[in-house]
Structure 1
Amino acid sequence: MKILMVLTSHDQLGDTGKKTGFWLEEFAAPYYVFKDGGADVTLASPKGGQPPLDPSSDTDDAQTDDTKRFKSDEAAQHDLANTAVLSAVSADGFDAIFYPGGHGPLWDLAEDDDSKALIEAFADSDRPFGAVCHAPAIFKHTKNADGKPLVSGKKVTGFTNTEEEGVGLTDVVPFLVEDMLKENGGDYRKGDDWDSFVVVDGKLVTGQNPASSAEAARKLLDLL
């Protein structure tokens, strides 16, 4: 099994002057679900190299067993520091694609043509594709073969409006994930704020928040 994980390269939190990037738990938990499940994992990002880490995900209270494991795993750290440039990555040869969240994807991956082409290639070939927390932002412009939004009519989830309100960034982000998924015709579902909640519709897997990252990865692996 070969799984492609795509991370953000964006590190600016709007006009706040603060840093953002990918959320450590949302990378580490799926990475180890895939690795422990026997998958060969390739990491990519729009700019390649080391993706920016959201500093809020690196605080003591945000650590989990998976993030602690990552911090003592030199091979995984090397892999993360050397992500492939997304434009050079082909969908060929991969069995599934997965996007960790963090606020970064709202700015770059949501608008990235290379990412859009990859997702559409996986969807068109009926291969599993998934995203967690803010990463369902990647479905902002993706289309089906018939030209309709890729999530139209599909059960989906992602970071809720109330969770965004809870972290005080409703007026900072370029768009709200929940609103965008609904506007694109998605059958948006959600669980309680901050609890694990994952939705599977065909080969599409989406998770609501950081707590959903491991379960979303397991559901994606189940499809393989």
Structure 2
Amino acid sequence: MKKVLVVLTNTIEYKGTDQATGLWLGEATEFVDEVTKAGFEVDYVSPKGGFVPLDPRSFKYTDKSTMAIYSSSDFQQRALTNSLKPSEVHPEDYQSIYYTGGHGVMWDFPTNPELQSITRKIYQQGGFVTSVCHGIAGLLNVKDDDGNYLISDKKITGFTTAEEILAGKRKVVPFLNEEVAKMHGANFQKKRAYKEFAIQDGQLITGQNPFSARAVARILIENN
């Protein structure tokens, strides 16, 4: 059975503000909907394990399948209440890892050494490293055994600077994903703001924005 490790945030608010953030719900549920229909098993991990908050704005963009997964006892328990700690994960069990978004990930994905280690091991064993939207933050600082950035010289995408400006969050995020990706040698690709776009380069599969989760899933499925 193919297994995917889905990475979720523990960050509750934009740091330095009283604005709530967290997981962008559809970026998890839409991906999970696609891969489970294709016969994949899914586990959930977060930097600290346990509780995963939801970005309240993400409920404006739900559909029937999203709400079905969100309301399931499995998702409520294994994703939102009792997500795994990185120390509880065995990378050899997974064929791929998927980093979800929501602005919260900007604070707890980029500098987590345990998640970076899991990602590197899955990649080294031939697995796929995938992300959507702000989830690209989890890939920005991952390095191979030679100390090179995993995304260097790779075509990738993620939430763009233009989209961050349109979202009204440019001044509250700690960095811009597009800028850091380019600094770390990535060939950053992008399409029109807030339109579905996903791209594959070898074992890397990335989606640009919240409307790209299913596209990432479909590419992953095609490769398995």
TM-score (norm 1): 0.95
Between the aligned partners of 2:183 and 2:57, the Cα distance in structure 1 is: 29
Aligned to 2:100: 100
The percent identity for this pair of structures is: 35
**Partner deviation per Cα, 1:21-53 (whole Å, 9 max, x = no partner):** 110000100111111111111111122222111
Q: Is the 8 A contact 2:29 2:70 kept in 1?
A: no
Aligned to 1:171: 171
Residue identity matched to 1:180: V
Aligned to 1:139: 139
Q: CA deviation at 1:72?
A: 3.8
Aligned to 1:8: 9
Which aligned pairs between 1:126-165 and structure 2 lie closer than 5 A? 126-165=126-165
**Partner deviation per Cα, 1:109-149 (whole Å, 9 max, x = no partner):** 11111111011112222211100000100122211222111
* Corresponding position: 1:69 with 2:96: no
Residue identity matched to 1:153: D
Aligned to 2:24: 23
* Corresponding position: 1:48 with 2:15: no
* Corresponding position: 1:219 with 2:219: yes
Q: CA deviation at 1:223?
A: 1.8
Q: Is the 8 A contact 1:22 1:101 kept in 2?
A: yes
* Corresponding position: 1:39 with 2:40: yes
Per the alignment, in what secondary structure is the counterpart of residue 110 of structure 2? helix
Between the aligned partners of 2:192 and 2:5, the Cα distance in structure 1 is: 29
TM-score (norm 2): 0.95
Aligned to 2:114: 114
Per the alignment, in what secondary structure is the counterpart of residue 205 of structure 1? strand
Between the aligned partners of 2:70 and 2:156, the Cα distance in structure 1 is: 32
Number of aligned residue pairs: give it.
Answer: 222
**Partner deviation per Cα, 1:136-180 (whole Å, 9 max, x = no partner):** 001222112221111000000000101000011111101101111
Q: Is the 8 A contact 1:139 1:151 kept in 2?
A: yes
Q: Is the 8 A contact 2:161 2:177 kept in 1?
A: yes
Q: Root-mean-square deviation (CA), in Å?
A: 1.2
Q: Is the 8 A contact 2:155 2:201 kept in 1?
A: yes
**Partner deviation per Cα, 1:4-31 (whole Å, 9 max, x = no partner):** 1111111121212111111000010011
Aligned to 1:197: 197
Aligned to 1:185: 185
Per the alignment, in what secondary structure is the counterpart of residue 134 of structure 1? helix
Q: CA deviation at 1:73?
A: 2.4
Relative to structure 2, which stretch is displaced further, 175-184 or 62-71? 62-71
Q: Is the 8 A contact 1:129 1:220 kept in 2?
A: no
Per the alignment, in what secondary structure is the counterpart of residue 169 of structure 2? coil
